[in-house]
Structures are given as structure tokens and as C-alpha cells.
């Protein structure tokens, strides 16, 4: 298990206390030795931080995606983002597949990267899926200005934030495999719902169809998790289909003091967890509710995002996946 935030804080406090003590005890020690001690301690702290989910690094993944432009059909940002995810994961993952599909007259790509359990005997079960949609909405129909409504959203929160959490998690998994196999699943075409009669979650539905054999023990979907005023209540489809899993996640959140997680029921939200729940899989959704003002507007930009919000979500999920457990 990774050190919990509390333990890390204790270690940091102890490290700074050591600096203070050593400064007092060796007031006359020469500067060179002092700076050696400092750099030793700093590198210990860096090492501990490296093993932790870093919200700032996740923010950088949002910035990259946003810089590619909209991740929707007819924009080059879509292919660039697919390449970006693939290039980051290809050298690190034990297995990576891109699964193209055609549905409702549209073409899409789901991407699936697996990081096998540290112990080969644990490779197939238990198995945890982390999922997010990587496409963005082609229209900003809720924008105040009618002129903006036909434009695609930037999707810093609605799209890029979930992907960013998965990519930062990939960094942790690359440096230290978890006790369970972890699948990072990037789903396409979530956000076409109610456009020309299309449904939401086209990519997720295809993923479940194409991979009927795939039965993860637990799954966590992240969607819209970077807002600086992030609030995540207990989404209700998740509650109905996977209450135990939701309780486990909320228990970790409580123990970490991750205040974006709220101990109250949210709404029933149609999202990419539904096709999985319908297939009898335990998958919960971590999603901002009520949706932020920026949702499906031209205001869904990175200046609304916060590294702290991402980090709270990421650290809860990383404790969940690194937990030494009996089969779930």
C-alpha cells in the first residue's frame, strides 16, 4: 500500500523537524555539510512525492489535451489526443489495444491499457478498471450566448479531467505495479447525447459489447473532476448497482479528509458507467453534481480547474488500487 496522506505528512513534519534539530545542534557546522543534509532530505521527500498522485502533473495532461483543440469529429485534436494517450502508455503498459468501432453512423476508438498485478498469480482476478471518456462535446448548447452554442466545447473538465486522472495514475502504475491488475479504459463518443437523436455513452456501450469476456471485479469512472469548486455526492445509479464499492471509496475519502467527496446522495446521472452496470458489473461514477456552470458551455476551460481537486480524487483512487486486499 502507498503511504497515506497522513503518514506522508508525518514524515514531512519529521523531516523538517530533523532539519530544525540538526541546525540547532550544529550551529557552527559549515554550510557545505548543511546543504548536503538538506539535499538528502529533499530527495527523500521527492521520492515520497513521486509515489503519490500529483494534481499538478494531472493539470499538465489537461493543458496538453486542451492545446490540441476539440476532441470531436472533424477536428485534428481528436487524432492528436488519441496519439498522445497512446504514446504515453505504449512504453509503460503491459498491454495496450485500440478498439475501433462504428455505431450510429459514427466512427470511434476506445483505448484499453493494462498494468498487470505485481504478483503474476494475481494477474486475472481481482481486477480493477478505471475509466473516463476522452471525447468532447461538439456543441456548447448551454452557453449564454446563442452565437457560441454551435461551437464545440473546450472540455477541460468534461473530457480532459478524467483522462488526466487516468494518465497520472499510469505514471504511478509504471513506477510501481499494484497488487491487482489495473485496466485504464479511455472511452470515445460519450458526449453525443441528444444531438440528432443520438444516445450518450456510445463508446462505452460498444466497449461492453466488444469485450463480453471482460469482467473486472470493480470499476471507477471519473468524469468532470477538476473544477475548483468540485463536489462529488454519491451518484445514484452507482448506489443502486454497486453500493459496497461506493462505500469503500467513500470510506477512503473520509480517512484522507478528501472533502470534495460528500456524504450525501446525488442524482441519477446517465454516464459511461451505465452500460457496465447493465452488464452486471460493479462500476461507480465519480462526477461533479450539481454540474458546474461551465458544463456544456464555452466556459469549460482550464482556468476553472484546480490541481487540488484532481489530487483529492486521484489519491482516493490510488489508495483503493494499491490496497492489499482479499479478493473484493
- Binding residues for Zn ion, per CB under 5 A? 137, 158, 191
Residue closer to Zn ion (CB basis): 158 or 272: 158
| Nearest distance, CB of residue 224 and Zn ion, angstroms | 7
Which residue lies nearer to Zn ion by CB, 34 or 270?
A: 270
> What's the min distance (Å) between Cβ of 160 and Zn ion?
12
- Identify the CA nearest to 318 among candidates 9, 53, 3, 118: 53
CB of 327 to Zn ion, least distance (A): 35
Name the residue among 8, 13, 10, 4 with its Cα closest to residue 48.
Answer: 8
Find the shortest distance in angstroms from Cβ 137 to Zn ion. 5
Cβ-based nearer residue to Zn ion, 110 or 201 = 201
What is the closest distance, in whole angstroms, from the C-beta atom of residue 279 to Zn ion in the complex?
22
CB of residue 155 to Zn ion, shortest distance in Å = 8
Shorter beta-carbon distance to Zn ion: residue 109 or 201: 201
**Closer residue to Zn ion in complex, CB, 34/141:** 141
Shorter beta-carbon distance to Zn ion: residue 78 or 315: 78
**Residue 119 near residue 179, CB atoms below 8 Å:** yes
Query: In whole angstroms, what is the distance from residue 120 CA to residue 6 CA?
Result: 31
Residue 112 cell numbers, joined: 484499453
The smaller minimum CB distance to Zn ion, of residues 85 and 156, is found at 156
Helix (H), strand (E), coil (C) string for the chain: CCCCHHHHHHHHHHHHHHHHHHHHHCCCCCHHHHHHHHHHHHHHHHHHHHCCCCHHHHHHHHHHHHHHCCCCCCCHHHHHHHHHHHHHHCCCCCEEEEEEEEECCEEEEEEEEEECCCCHHHCCCCEEEEEEECCCCCCCCCCCCHHHCCCCCCCHHHHHHHHHHHHHHHHHHHHCCCCCEEEEEEECCCCCCCCCCCCCCHHHHHHHHHCCCCCCCEEEEEECCCECCCCEEECHHHHHHHHHHHHHHHHHHHHHCCCCEEEEECCCCCCCHHHHHHCCCCEEEEECCCCCCCCCCCCCCHHHECHHHHHHHHHHHHHHHHCCCCCC
Nearer residue to Zn ion within complex by CB, 54 or 201: 201
C-alpha cell recorded at residue 21: 534539530
Which of 108/216 has CB closer to Zn ion? 108
**Least distance (Å) from Zn ion to the CB of residue 296?**
6
Min separation Cβ 138 and Zn ion, Å:
11
Task: Tell me how far, at minimum, the Cβ of 225 lies from Zn ion, in Å.
Answer: 13
Amino acid at each position: 500500500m502507498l503511504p497515506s496522506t497522513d503518514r506522508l505528512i508525518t514524515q514531512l513534519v519529521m523531516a523538517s523537524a530533523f532539519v530544525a534539530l540538526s541546525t540547532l545542534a550544529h550551529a557552527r557546522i559549515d554550510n557545505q555539510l548543511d546543504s548536503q543534509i538538506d539535499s538528502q532530505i529533499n530527495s527523500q521527500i521527492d521520492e515520497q512525492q513521486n509515489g503519490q498522485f500529483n494534481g499538478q502533473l494531472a493539470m499538465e495532461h489537461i493543458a496538453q489535451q486542451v492545446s490540441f483543440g476539440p476532441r470531436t469529429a472533424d477536428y485534428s485534436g481528436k487524432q492528436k489526443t488519441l496519439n498522445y494517450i497512446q504514446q504515453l502508455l505504449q512504453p509503460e503498459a503491459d498491454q495496450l489495444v485500440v478498439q475501433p468501432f462504428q455505431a450510429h453512423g459514427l466512427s470511434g476508438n476506445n483505448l484499453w491499457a493494462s498494468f498487470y498485478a505485481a504478483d503474476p498469480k494475481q494477474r486475472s482476478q481481482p481486477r480493477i478498471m478505471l475509466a473516463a471518456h476522452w471525447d468532447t462535446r461538439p456543441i456548447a448548447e448551454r452557453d449564454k450566448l446563442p452565437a457560441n452554442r454551435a461551437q464545440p466545447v473546450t472540455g477541460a473538465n468534461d473530457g480532459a479531467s478524467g483522462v488526466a486522472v487516468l494518465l497520472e495514475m499510469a505514471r504511478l502504475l509504471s513506477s510501481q505495479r499494484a497488487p491487482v491488475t489495473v485496466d485504464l479504459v479511455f472511452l470515445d463518443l460519450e458526449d453525443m447525447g441528444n444531438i440528432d437523436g443520438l444516445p450518450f455513452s456510445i463508446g462505452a456501450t460498444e466497449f461492453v459489447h466488444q469485450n463480453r469476456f471482460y469482467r473486472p471485479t470493480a470499476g471507477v469512472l471519473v468524469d468532470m473532476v477538476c473544477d475548483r469548486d468540485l463536489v462529488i455526492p454519491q451518484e445514484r445509479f452507482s448506489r443502486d448497482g454497486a453500493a459496497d464499492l461506493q462505500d469503500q471509496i467513500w470510506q477512503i475519502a473520509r480517512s484522507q479528509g478528501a472533502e470534495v467527496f460528500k456524504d450525501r446522495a446525488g442524482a441519477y446521472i446517465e454516464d459511461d458507467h451505465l452500460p457496465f452496470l447493465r452488464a452486471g458489473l460493479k462500476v461507480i461514477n465519480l462526477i461533479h453534481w450539481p454540474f458546474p456552470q461551465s458544463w456544456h458551455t464555452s466556459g469549460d476551460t482550464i482556468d476553472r480547474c484546480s490541481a487540488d481537486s484532481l489530487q483529492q480524487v486521484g489519491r482516493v483512487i490510488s489508495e483503493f488500487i494499491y490496497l492489499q486486499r482479499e479478493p473484493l
